[in-house]
Structure 1
Amino acid sequence: MSEHDAIILEMKDVKVHFHLDEGVLKAVDGIDLQIKRGKTLGIVGESGCGKSVTAQAILRIVPKPGEVVGDINLYRNDANHKNEATNLTNLNPRGKEIRDIRGGEIAMIFQEPMKAFSPIHSIGNQIMEAILLHATEDKEEAYRIAVDILKKVGMSNPEQRLSEYPHQLSGGMRQRAMIAMALSCNPSILIADEPTTALDVTVQAQVLQLINDLKSNNDTSVIFITHDLGVIAEMSDDVAVMYLGKVVEYTDVDSLFYNPKHPYTKALMNSIPAIGRENKRLESIEGTVPFPMNLPQGCGFYSRCKLAVDGVCNVSDIPLIQVSKGHTVRCLMVEAEHKEIEVVS
């Protein structure tokens, strides 16, 4: 299998900037990611680090005045698009080609279903619209698919729910309906943005299993965005840790949990409750993610990092270095520990 056969989506130096009266807000500031076929990429980080905007950039739904630059290459591997790359950033956000991809080849489970669903159309109308656009033109078949997918996500009395409106459903039911709509067309890439936030633990387990089944049965690639490191450990093959619009560490899931390198990643790991540490106070990361506008030079984590060195970490932008095969880190302190390193970007 060639390199491009193994990769379904590749992001190269992708930036999402919002040009405001106060200045340029850099929500995503030059990230490089690869999503492999049939694998799950977990994206983790604090609120405001650019995770959701990264997902919006892929689907070309970044709200105005946001501007997406860089390359987002979708590699199709079917009969009509053998090994052909489509650069999504070159497509018209309202054009037919991206609309065929959006919801069909790439689907997204949004974090806030109340905002994602139309309040004036029934749940069934919205789910069936996606199915009729991307899967079948038969309305009866679309109805059967909609009922079946609602059953799979644990929705009680699915036939009745299809005729109801978003405001008539609880938060958990709306979330399940949003998940059902994303899964209904068997997408090649599923972007899950905090998909289980509003769900109780038992339904959360069902939804995660459903996503894993889709991944196994249809060779679906998944981009899983979450704050929950436990879910990351359970779901992901590779993990990207984001901070202030940049990827600060990228590696496989085992290396992330057993051999984290970046100080921010280590701090996240130390904040997880663990058996045997019941009487120990959990560590916390002091401060908050800086506002991504008019930022000073240097590491974005400088003001919160216990290892930061004045005159070193706050002088110039920090390059991404490779500390081992497939393991990259954006930190000068890690660079100092590894005499022979490769600068990636």
Structure 2
Amino acid sequence: MKGNTAEADAVILEMKDVKVHFHLDEGVLKAVDGIDLRIKRGKTLGIVGESGCGKSVTSQALLRIVPSPGRVEGEIKLKRMRPEGGLEEVDLIRLDPRGKEIRDIRGGEIAMIFQEPMKAFSPIHTIGNQIMEAILLHETDDKEEAYRIGVEILRKVGMSNPEQRMGEYPHQLSGGMRQRAMIAMALSCHPSVLIADEPTTALDVTVQAQVLQLINDLKESRDTSVIFITHDLGVIAEMSDDVAVMYLGKVVEYTDVDTLFHAPKHPYTKALLNSIPTIGRGNRRLESIEGTVPFPMNLPKGCGFYTRCKHAVDGMCNREDIPLTEIEEGHFVRCVLVGGQDARKEAVR
């Protein structure tokens, strides 16, 4: 994706042709297959799609924590402050996944709110111990100061009686409190980029609203960039500035949130929006997307959504791999039926 100079200056993290492939005995599983994303400073990028489309693996690639036998290719460029001052650009894929430099970036420059905090937290260490570990690694060597920072960040995320919570274990907290503790740990070292991987899963509606408001407030107060991963389009509408719709390891549509909801172009995006319950539908049944997401291994050429798309054209949509094309300024779509006659003629050749 290309943009003007002002936009380029505002980009803090950029992914170019990033692939995450798992080389298995049965073949190559393409969990993420050549995505391009740009995260702007102080903005929220929403990544939406069905389960299995590659959202969480994308976040793992950013932190270089893709499990074996996964391999990451492409470019992930992060703009970070030099110790002596000024900005530098570092390609995260070129770093040793176990090296000191990437360990300094994890939790320091890029932090993550994991999908299920009960599994992400260690069950044998207190909440305070785990928050302090990150602070001691990135912020200070003084344990007393780390404790004070931990208590203060728990207070900022709305945790009741933070001094007591510092000494409690994850199983002693409710789901909402564990999620707040996870957010506190992620924000304790003032990251430039915050990855929120479905942070409201399994929370009741009231707590979900509180968590979303908390992330927004902290983003605005600290000018943090947020990558918000979810399958909930209602949350995307509330949280995001830009949105990337993923399907089968690829970005199929990328634009600002208003354009996505009012003028979607890709058939998959339209199908997702049509499946949302809305007031005033009367007795009409909700639309559904027939079929399932294909297994991302040994896939045929063409559009990954071809077998489920109501508008698919044989010999056009399933002939060659389809590029992500800018149809309007800032609006990218991966579909030959959207790009006009020129795109159709090119696809048929």
Corresponding position of 1:253: 257
Q: Which amino acid in the other structure matches residue 329 of structure 1?
A: V
Q: Output the aligned Cα RMSD.
A: 2.1
| Among 265, 268, 271, the residue aligned to 1:267 | 271
For 1:337 and 1:208, locate their aligned partners in 2 and report how far apart those are by CA, in whole Å: 42
For 2:346 and 2:103, locate their aligned partners in 1 and report how far apart those are by CA, in whole Å: 39
For 1:339 and 1:313, locate their aligned partners in 2 and report how far apart those are by CA, in whole Å: 11
Equivalent position SS for 1:92: coil
| Among 315, 320, 323, the residue aligned to 1:311 | 315
- How far off its partner does 1:131 sit? 1.3
Corresponding position of 1:65: 69
- How far off its partner does 1:342 sit? 12
Corresponding position of 1:165: 169
For 1:228 and 1:255, locate their aligned partners in 2 and report how far apart those are by CA, in whole Å: 17
Corresponding position of 1:93: 97
Q: Does 1:75 align with 2:82?
A: no
- How far off its partner does 1:242 sit? 0.3
For 1:128 and 1:341, locate their aligned partners in 2 and report how far apart those are by CA, in whole Å: 59
| Among 106, 110, 121, the residue aligned to 2:110 | 106
Q: Does 1:131 align with 2:135?
A: yes
Q: Which amino acid in the other structure matches residue 146 of structure 1?
A: G
For 2:329 and 2:84, locate their aligned partners in 1 and report how far apart those are by CA, in whole Å: 34
Equivalent position SS for 1:55: helix
Equivalent position SS for 2:251: strand
Conservation of the 8 A alpha-carbon contact between 1:4 and 1:83: no
TM-score by length of 2: 0.93
Residues 140 and 83 of structure 1, relative CA distance in 2, 3 Å threshold: closer
Equivalent position SS for 2:32: strand
For 2:141 and 2:346, locate their aligned partners in 1 and report how far apart those are by CA, in whole Å: 52
Conservation of the 8 A alpha-carbon contact between 1:323 and 1:342: no
| Among 25, 28, 32, the residue aligned to 1:28 | 32
- How far off its partner does 1:115 sit? 2.2
Equivalent position SS for 1:276: coil
More moved, 55-64 vs 313-322: 313-322
Residues 86 and 342 of structure 1, relative CA distance in 2, 3 Å threshold: farther
Residues 228 and 53 of structure 1, relative CA distance in 2, 3 Å threshold: same
Q: Which amino acid in the other structure matches residue 176 of structure 1?
A: R
Q: Does 1:328 align with 2:332?
A: yes
- How far off its partner does 1:319 sit? 1.3
Corresponding position of 1:244: 248
Residues 4 and 20 of structure 1, relative CA distance in 2, 3 Å threshold: same
For 2:209 and 2:64, locate their aligned partners in 1 and report how far apart those are by CA, in whole Å: 30
Q: Which amino acid in the other structure matches residue 160 of structure 1?
A: Q
For 2:77 and 2:241, locate their aligned partners in 1 and report how far apart those are by CA, in whole Å: 21
Q: Which amino acid in the other structure matches residue 39 of structure 2?
A: I
| Among 200, 208, 214, the residue aligned to 1:210 | 214
- How far off its partner does 1:100 sit? 0.6
Conservation of the 8 A alpha-carbon contact between 1:191 and 1:223: yes
Residues 143 and 105 of structure 1, relative CA distance in 2, 3 Å threshold: same
Conservation of the 8 A alpha-carbon contact between 1:323 and 1:338: no
For 2:51 and 2:240, locate their aligned partners in 1 and report how far apart those are by CA, in whole Å: 20
Corresponding position of 1:116: 120
Residues 213 and 340 of structure 1, relative CA distance in 2, 3 Å threshold: farther
Count of residue correspondences: 343
For 1:317 and 1:48, locate their aligned partners in 2 and report how far apart those are by CA, in whole Å: 20
Conservation of the 8 A alpha-carbon contact between 1:262 and 1:329: yes
For 2:135 and 2:66, locate their aligned partners in 1 and report how far apart those are by CA, in whole Å: 24
- How far off its partner does 1:209 sit? 1.8
- How far off its partner does 1:170 sit? 3.2
Unaligned runs of 5+ in 2: none
Equivalent position SS for 2:19: strand
Deviations 1:112-133 (A, max 9, x none): 2122112221111001111121
Conservation of the 8 A alpha-carbon contact between 2:114 and 2:197: yes
For 2:177 and 2:215, locate their aligned partners in 1 and report how far apart those are by CA, in whole Å: 17
TM-score by length of 1: 0.94
Residues 338 and 235 of structure 1, relative CA distance in 2, 3 Å threshold: farther
| Among 51, 55, 72, the residue aligned to 1:47 | 51
Residues 261 and 291 of structure 1, relative CA distance in 2, 3 Å threshold: same
Conservation of the 8 A alpha-carbon contact between 2:116 and 2:199: no
- How far off its partner does 1:46 sit? 0.3
Conservation of the 8 A alpha-carbon contact between 1:128 and 1:146: yes
Unaligned runs of 5+ in 1: none
Deviations 1:41-94 (A, max 9, x none): 000000000000000000000011110000000012567463421000000111
| Among 196, 199, 205, the residue aligned to 2:200 | 196
Deviations 1:247-302 (A, max 9, x none): 00000000000000000000011011112114221111111111101111111001
